[in-house]
Amino acid sequence: MDTIIGKVRSLSRRRFLRVFGQGGLGALALTVGGGSLLPRQGGAMQRKGARAVREIHLEAREVTWELAPGKRIKAMAYNGQIPGPELRLKEGERVRIVLKNALPEPTTIHWHGVNVPNPMDGVPGITQKPVQPGETFVYEFEARPAGTRWYHTHFQEHRQMDLGLTAPLIIEPAAGEPFGFDREYTLVLDDWATGTGRSVPRTQEGTAGASGGMGGMMGGGMGRTMEGMMGGGQHPAYDTMTVNGKAYPATQPLKVRRGERVRLRLINASAEHTHVARLGGHTLHVTHTDGNPLVQPVEVDAIPLAPSERCDAFFRAKTPGVWPLTCTQPGHTGAGEQVLVVYEGHERDRPAPIQEGAAALHLWQNALGRGRPMLPPPSGRERFFDLTLSGGMMGSDAWTINGKQYPHTDPLRLQRGDRVRVRFSNHSMEAHPMHLHGQSFKILAVNDRRLPAPVVKDSVEVEAHMGSVEIEFTAHNPGDWFFHCHIPMHMEGGMITLAKIA
Ligand code: C2O
Ligand code: CU
């Protein structure tokens, strides 16, 4: 990333604020991705009625993208870069995002984790018509809640996300950050199928397989055997793993200075793979789940992330040298998922060796966190829904909720203010990261164990082989909201329902 975004990311936060001031990010956004974001209207802010609206321009188009030297692919990008430009908004700020579709096919954008009004949600056929080639669509919403969010295509997700239409969206809290930091980096993790046919192992058993413990090994082993027996379906051969659109050694090193607290915003934009982020020589202190702050940080060795999950964590830079940030999932680091953390003054050091495997590591899991109560208080009825996730049997690519494939699934019919509990039971042999549009939820229980202080998220992975998760949300945002597995193959296979909030 040789754009201003890259430069901003590598500035220390203190220095950044000194150089650009508090309003600086808005002005910066003007020049993101080669200058096409804002300037047409001649300024960052426009008046709409009495309210200031920030206008941002995104253009989706085909590009040739270099994942690593010599590894060029045909891809799709927002403003010519992968991931797309990082949008930085202030909580509560009103933003108008003008999407121009310069692709030869339709597209839309979904603002994942943002409580947008329903018509802005980007789901073709439900909240809007697909944006046709050459057309423009204007998304307008207030940026909330604060946190690490992201945006991505919601049209033929499997194909278009795989080709690169994903990007970070950071909403900065109006009341200030709950945990201090000196510097921050956003890391978008993604999987690519470049056509070599030599795929890294699938992680269909999800984060449960991340520990390398018995459950994971059994799940993984069985899964792969079954896949072999059943022919495996139409899986793209994901052979390359990237951090911010590049595979190691093309990844941009993260510069740090001794004594700093360095915040990482991890986003898993992969279609299929769980990643387990680990930084050699350092522990990671988890502060946010899907962008929502915990009461206090939780120290772990490594952080598993299912597709669409985000995690913010910081590390204390107190071990000078050059350290690899890698993924402990088999094959991922070798496929490019590696970025070096380089201490100032140690640029010429040799990187510390990569520690393999995840056995005996203390891994992040939702039950370790103490969430803050942040859902709007319910005012309506209590509702309960039991959703059984199934499918994928005998190599089929049909995936179901209560035995039905979307659009034949039964929607959750809700009234505004309802307190809604949903229990997922996974009867399939693959994990499912379930995502609710339009509002966040808290996680009450995982595998029938209650969480002492539920964390708040918008995606939650339900473990394979009879895993269960119970969530609760307040139906506060009216409209028809997609509620689905974030693995595009499962989604396209029918694992979608709707939360209809009247
Ligand atoms: Cu990020 Cu419908 O999803
Ligand atoms: Cu799934």
Q: What is the pLDDT of residues 45-66, one digit of tens each?
A: 554 455 689 999 999 999 999 9
| Cα–ligand 2 centroid distance for 495 (angstroms) | 7
Rg for the chain, CA atoms, rounded: 21
| Cα–ligand 1 centroid distance for 434 (angstroms) | 9
Protein residue closest via CA to atom 1 of ligand 1: 112
Instruction: State which ligand 1 atom lies nearest to the alpha carbon of 152.
Output: 1
| Cα–ligand 2 centroid distance for 125 (angstroms) | 21
pLDDT of 197: 85
In contact, 239 and 200? CB cutoff 8 Å: yes
pLDDT of 16: 35
Stretches in the chain below the pLDDT threshold 70:
1-51, 204-206, 208-234, 357-358
In contact, 271 and 198? CB cutoff 8 Å: no
Instruction: State which ligand 1 atom lies nearest to the alpha carbon of 112.
Output: 1
Output the ligand 1 site: residues, CB below 6 A.
110, 112, 152, 154, 308, 435, 437, 482, 484, 486
Which ligand is located closest to the Cα atom of residue 308? 1
In the CATH hierarchy, which top-level class contains the domain 2-176? mainly beta
| Cα–ligand 1 centroid distance for 272 (angstroms) | 14
Instruction: State which ligand 1 atom lies nearest to the alpha carbon of 123.
Output: 2
Which ligand is located closest to the Cα atom of residue 149? 1
pLDDT of 40: 36
Which ligand is located closest to the Cα atom of residue 399? 2
Structural element, H or E, at residue 218:
helix 214-230
Structure tokens at 178: 């709950």
| Cα–ligand 2 centroid distance for 433 (angstroms) | 6
Instruction: State which ligand 1 atom lies nearest to the alpha carbon of 150.
Output: 1
Beta strands (DSSP E) in 415-495 are 419-426, 432-436, 441-446, 449-450, 456-457, 459-462, 468-474, 479-485
Which backbone phi and psi does 155 adopt, to 5 degrees?
A: -115, 125
Structural element, H or E, at residue 219:
helix 214-230
**For tokens 């995690």, what's the residue?**
311
Which ligand is located closest to the Cα atom of residue 155? 1
In contact, 381 and 466? CB cutoff 8 Å: no
d(CA 493, CA 487): 10
Instruction: State which ligand 1 atom lies nearest to the alpha carbon of 154.
Output: 2
pLDDT of 205: 67
Architecture of the domain defined by 382-501:
Sandwich (2.60)
| Cα–ligand 2 centroid distance for 108 (angstroms) | 21
For residue 72, which amino acid is it? Answer: R
pLDDT of 211: 53
| Cα–ligand 1 centroid distance for 254 (angstroms) | 29
| Beta-bridge partners for 460 | 434
d(CA 83, CA 268): 12
| Cα–ligand 1 centroid distance for 234 (angstroms) | 21
Protein residue closest via CA to atom 3 of ligand 1: 112
d(CA 114, CA 458): 9
Instruction: State which ligand 1 atom lies nearest to the alpha carbon of 459.
Output: 1
Neighbours of 69 (CB within 10 A): 10
Q: What is the pTM of this model?
A: 0.88
Q: Considering the domain 240-368 in this protein, what is its CATH number?
A: 2.60.40.420
| Cα–ligand 1 centroid distance for 488 (angstroms) | 9
Which ligand is located closest to the Cα atom of residue 274? 2
Instruction: State which ligand 1 atom lies nearest to the alpha carbon of 113.
Output: 1
Residue range(s) in the chain whose domain bears CATH number 2.60.40.420: 2-176, 240-368, 382-501
pLDDT of 477: 98
